[in-house]
């Protein structure tokens, strides 16, 4: 159900206090005047006199009226009474004649009854009375607010006598929008009934079975029977008939004048008007035609549901202080006959989205409906002004206008509507129409507000609470719209909402600050479920720990990337682990690996730095034949795959080779020098040996040459 405030509807005739006052007057009148006494002595007791009435109201939709019949039975069983009373007796004295002497005389009182009293509806017509004997009359006596007191006079009914009276009249249904509270039409009826009978009475109400009735009896009860197309509500004989009253409200579904309209998105809206009220029919039709397209555009969706949305005319008295109501389970908007307030139809139609199935907080449904209404009427939702109630405003404690609502109650209710409208429309205005559609889509689809990198978490099916609404407004509305004050929305809500959950707003503020700082820090990285879920669930301690953990992981990976860019740490496996972390444990594990990666990267980077540093000749000699690059490449690969042990081993390998290089160089150089000396000595030896040999050969050749005359050279 949803409703709209409006104080212009007056109360009906059925108000308890009004009736109590009315009957107070009746009883006083009855008690002083019912007994007509024949004797000169006043008799006060009513013993033996009975006045019992059976009142029947018959709903007559075809004629638009109630037909009322009151059958009254007056009986007099009060016996005559005789008492001795002082009197003067005349005594005859032969001497002096008659003279008076005091004495007592019997006096008989004879009781009769010749009138009764009734309350008849002020608008009654064709009032008539008949009696089974004697003359009878009916005349109005005292007039009251809704009922007039009538006196029915009839022939004297003496002891042992009984008289049957029948009073009939008609109560025509009031015209639509008239002050007369009774409505009796082909589609809709609303009326109240009473009981008559000074010494007791019963009431019967008869209506066609096609009418579905809501019955609200007071100081009595009905039993219901059905026969021949009529349903009958019957009370027992009630000793105090004056205390009883009951109100009937109902409709005949086949009695409405129906017309069907279609929204731009194709949703059917069925208008159900009273056949007797073409003005309402035309006005409602015009307002629906104007509103539905704008509403669908505002929300970004077709009107929800599958069957037709029904807009039904109801009596304004039925709605009390409200101009309309909406029942989501039936998709029925009940709009009062007093269709004098622009936007009521739009407001109620918008409740097809904004109702208890979407929001747990009533202020969100009403605030959203008022916001929707204001966008159509152009009448903005203004600041509500000073709170008229005691204490502080609290729209979370939504107040309803019951039949006994005081003026102060109604002012508080109006304030709540105004405040809710102001909160919703202010924030919707800051978000802008496109982003507001996104906000509503998320809420309607139960999608959580904190989302990142394509991850959209779902809320459980069922209505969303004000916290989910606030998150959606903030994260999908205000932040994308560039509102930099992260507390703007929650501060506005806190002005009017005193709910206990408000106490969590400071923690929410801190967590959201950290959340958005993280989003700014991590560049292209996404924020994982490990953060999103506790943010969405308002578990801010866990969310904060997760935010800090992701921040630490990103810092570690950034450190690794800075130390060893070629390892590609920022977009490596840590990113995948972090972005896929479903909870804090997984995120912590990823952060630990990120720390390992940084350590490994720094180790390999250090080794790489050492490997590429300038080398002295000795080191160069020591490293001849040693290729560090494969080790460094393996180290980089180990960093990329977060294999800390391998990375360290490769770095150590490089470092060890570098450390060993000078010594090895020295050894090699020493060995090289030894080899040169040895080779030199060998050369001399060869030279010398060869010179001696040559000397020997020269001598031999000389001997040969002396024979051949030739000379030769060797070497």
Binding site for Zn ion (CB under 5 A): 2, 4, 366, 369
Nearest to 568 by CA among 627, 483, 637, 474: 637
DSSP labels, 311-367: EEEE-HHHHTTEEEEEETTTTEEEEES---STTHHHHHHHTTTSSTTTBSSHHHHHH
Nearest residue to 217 via CA among 188, 194, 186, 240: 194
Query: Closest CB to Zn ion among 416 and 549?
Result: 416
Please state, in angstroms and rounded to a whole number, the distance separating the CA atoms of residues 154 and 467: 73
DSSP 8-state class, residue 187: S
In the complex, the smallest distance separating the C-beta of residue 303 from Zn ion, rounded to whole angstroms, is: 16
Read off the DSSP letter of residue 397.
S
Closer residue to Zn ion in complex, CB, 343/665: 343
Give least dist CB 424 to Zn ion, A. Answer: 12
425 within 8 A of 473, measured Cβ to Cβ: no
Tell the smallest beta-carbon distance from residue 155 to Zn ion (Å).
60
CB of 585 to Zn ion, least distance (A): 46
| Cβ 71 vs Cβ 197: under 8 Å | no
Instruction: Read off the tokens for 603.
Output: 């180790």
- Cβ proximity to Zn ion: between 23 and 359 the closer is 359
Contact 220, 203 (CB under 8 A): yes
Min dist CB 595 to Zn ion, Å, is 56
Tell me how far, at minimum, the Cβ of 326 lies from Zn ion, in Å: 7
Question: What distance in Å separates the CA atoms of residue 87 and residue 703, rounded to the nearest whole number?
Answer: 217
- Dump strand ranges (E) for 159-308: 161-172, 183-184, 188-194, 201-208, 212-218, 223-227, 230-234, 245-251, 257-262, 268-273
CB of 369 to Zn ion, least distance (A): 4
What distance in Å separates the CA atoms of residue 226 and residue 356, rounded to the nearest whole number?
36
Nearer to Zn ion, 211 or 371 (CB): 371
Residue 259 CA to its chain's centroid (Å): 31
397 or 708: CB nearest Zn ion: 397
Residue 347 beta carbon to Zn ion: minimum distance, rounded to whole angstroms: 6
Token pair belonging to 58: 């018959």
Helix (H) or strand (E) holding 52: strand 49-60
Closest separation between CB of residue 464 and Zn ion, Å? 18
Q: Which is nearer to Zn ion, 4 or 430 (CB)?
A: 4
Whichever of 367 and 393 has its CB closer to Zn ion, that residue is: 367
Of 415, 146, 177, nearest in space to 319 by CA: 177
Q: 381 or 569: whose CB is closer to Zn ion?
A: 381
Query: What is the closest distance, in whole angstroms, from the C-beta atom of residue 417 to Zn ion in the complex?
Result: 8
For residue 321, the minimal CB distance to Zn ion (Å) is: 12
In angstroms, rounded to a whole number, what is the distance separating the alpha carbons of residues 505 and 488? 11
Residues 590 and 553: their CA atoms lie apart, in Å, by 7
Q: How far is the CB of 338 from Zn ion (least distance, A)?
A: 16
Q: Which is nearer to Zn ion, 366 or 414 (CB)?
A: 366
Rounded-to-integer distance, Cα 616 and Cα 629, Å: 19
| Run of H or E residues at 86 | strand 81-93
Report yes or no: 116 and 152 within 8 Å, Cβ to Cβ.
yes
We find the least distance from the C-beta atom of residue 373 to Zn ion, in angstroms, to be 9
Evaluate whether 590 touches 553 at the Cβ level (below 8 Å).
yes
The tally of CA atoms less than 13 A away on the side-chain side of residue 702 is 6
**Using CB atoms, what's the residue nearest to Zn ion?**
2
- Closer of 2 and 241 to Zn ion (Cβ): 2
For the record, the structure tokens of 295 come out as: 């509403």
> Please, which residue, 228 or 402, has the CB nearer to Zn ion?
402
Q: Which is nearer to Zn ion, 337 or 596 (CB)?
A: 337
User: Which two structure tokens, joined as six digits, stand for 363?
Assistant: 């202020």
- Specify the pairing of strand 268-273 against strand 322-327: unpaired
What is the smallest separation between the CB atom of 365 and Zn ion, expressed in angstroms?
7
Measured from the CB atom, the residue of 222 and 400 that comes closer to Zn ion is 400
For 108, the 3-state DSSP assignment is: strand
- Between 4 and 231, CB nearer to Zn ion: 4
- 251 token code pair: 């409709």
At 435, list the tokens: 């982003």
Give the N- to C-terminal CA distance of the chain in Å, as an integer: 125
2 or 473: whose CB is closer to Zn ion? 2
Nearest to 626 by CA among 658, 600, 670, 604: 658
CB of 2 to Zn ion, least distance (A): 4
Beta bridge partners of residue 313, listed in sequence order: 335
Q: What is the smallest separation between the CB atom of 306 and Zn ion, expressed in angstroms?
A: 23
CB of 396 to Zn ion, least distance (A): 17
Instruction: Record the tokens describing residue 650, joined without a space.
Output: 């490769």
Comparing CB distances to Zn ion, the nearer of 413 and 623 is 413
Q: Bridge-partner residues for 585, per DSSP?
A: none
The candidate with the shortest Cα–Cα distance to 573, out of 540, 525, 623, 514, is 525
Is the Cβ of residue 352 or residue 655 nearer to Zn ion in the bound state?
A: 352
Q: Which is nearer to Zn ion, 152 or 369 (CB)?
A: 369
CB 140 within 8 A of CB 150: yes
d(CA 360, CA 396): 10
Contact 632, 594 (CB under 8 A): no
Work out the number of other CB atoms within 10 angstroms of the CB of residue 288. 22
Smallest gap from residue 360 Cβ to Zn ion (A): 16
């Amino acid at each position: 159900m949803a409703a709209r405030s409006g104080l212009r509807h007056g109360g009906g005739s059925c108000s308890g206090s009004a009736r109590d006052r009315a009957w107070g007057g009746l009883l006083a009148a009855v008690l002083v005047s019912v007994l007509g006494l024949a004797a000169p002595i006043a008799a006060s007791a009513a013993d033996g006199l009975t006045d019992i009435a059976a009142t029947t109201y018959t709903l007559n939709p075809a004629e638009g009226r109630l037909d009322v019949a009151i059958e009254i039975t007056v009986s007099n069983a009060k016996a005559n009474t005789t008492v001795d009373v002082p009197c003067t007796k005349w005594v005859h004295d032969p001497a002096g004649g008659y003279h008076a002497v005091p004495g007592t005389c019997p006096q008989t009182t004879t009781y009769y009854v010749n009138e009764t009293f009734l309350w008849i509806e002020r608008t009654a017509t064709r009032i008539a009375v008949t009696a089974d004997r004697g003359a009878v009359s009916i005349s109005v006596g005292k007039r009251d607010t809704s009922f007039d007191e009538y006196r029915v006079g009839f022939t004297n009914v003496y002891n042992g006598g009984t008289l049957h009276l029948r009073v009939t009249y008609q109560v025509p249904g009031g015209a639509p929008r008239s002050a007369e509270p009774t409505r009796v039409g082909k589609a809709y009826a609303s009326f109240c009934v009473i009981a008559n009978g000074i010494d007791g009475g019963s009431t019967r109400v008869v209506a066609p079975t096609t009418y579905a009735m809501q019955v609200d009896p007071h100081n009595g009860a009905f039993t219901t029977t059905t026969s021949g197309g009529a349903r009958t509500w019957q009370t027992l004989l009630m000793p105090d008939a004056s205390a009883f009253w009951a109100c009937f409200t109902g409709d005949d579904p086949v009695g409405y004048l129906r017309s069907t309209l279609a929204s731009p998105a194709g949703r059917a809206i069925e208008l159900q008007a009273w056949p007797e009220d073409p003005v309402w029919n035309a006005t409602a039709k015009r307002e629906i035609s104007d509103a539905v397209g704008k509403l669908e555009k505002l929300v970004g969706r077709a009107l929800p549901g599958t069957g037709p949305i029904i807009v039904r005319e109801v009596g304004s008295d039925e709605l009390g202080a409200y101009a309309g109501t909406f029942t989501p389970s039936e998709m029925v908007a009940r709009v009062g006959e007093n269709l004098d307030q622009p936007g009521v139809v739009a407001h109620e139609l918008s409740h097809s989205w904004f109702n208890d199935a979407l929001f747990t907080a009533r202020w969100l449904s009403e605030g959203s409906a008022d916001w929707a209404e204001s966008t159509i009427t152009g009448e903005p939702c203004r600041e509500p002004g000073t709170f008229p109630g005691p204490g502080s405003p609290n729209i979370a404690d939504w107040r309803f206008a019951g039949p006994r609502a005081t003026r102060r109650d109604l002012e508080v209710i109006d304030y709540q509507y105004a405040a809710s409208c102001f909160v919703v429309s202010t924030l919707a205005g800051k978000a802008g129409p496109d982003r507001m559609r996104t906000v509503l889509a998320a809420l309607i689809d139960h999608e959580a507000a904190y989302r990142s990198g394509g991850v959209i978490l779902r809320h459980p099916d069922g209505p969303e609470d004000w916290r989910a609404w606030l998150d959606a407004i903030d994260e999908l509305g205000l932040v994308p719209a560039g509102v930099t004050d992260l507390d703007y929305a929650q501060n506005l809500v806190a002005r009017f909402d005193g709910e206990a959950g408000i106490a969590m707003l400071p923690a929410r503020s801190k967590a959201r600050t950290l959340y958005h700082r993280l989003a700014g820090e991590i560049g292209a990285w996404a924020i994982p479920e490990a953060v999103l879920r506790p943010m969405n669930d308002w578990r801010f301690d866990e969310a904060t720990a997760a935010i800090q953990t992701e921040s630490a992981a990103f810092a570690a990976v950034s450190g690794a990337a800075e130390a060893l860019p070629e390892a590609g740490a920022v977009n490596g496996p840590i990113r995948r682990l972090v972005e896929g972390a479903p909870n804090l444990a997984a995120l912590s594990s990823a952060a630990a690996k990120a720390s390992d990666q940084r350590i490994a990267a720094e180790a390999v980077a250090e080794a790489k730095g050492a490997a590429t540093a300038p080398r002295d000749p000795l080191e160069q000699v020591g490293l001849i034949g040693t290729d560090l690059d494969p080790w460094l490449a393996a180290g980089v690969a180990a960093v990329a795959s977060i294999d800390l042990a391998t990375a360290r081993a490769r770095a150590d390998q490089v470092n060890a080779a570098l450390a060993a290089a000078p010594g090895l160089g020295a050894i090699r150089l020493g060995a090289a020098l030894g080899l040169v000396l040895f080779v030199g000595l060998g050369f001399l030896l060869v030279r010398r040996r060869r010179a001696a040999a040559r000397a020997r050969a020269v001598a031999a050749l000389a001997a040969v040459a002396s024979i051949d005359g030739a000379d030769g050279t060797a070497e």
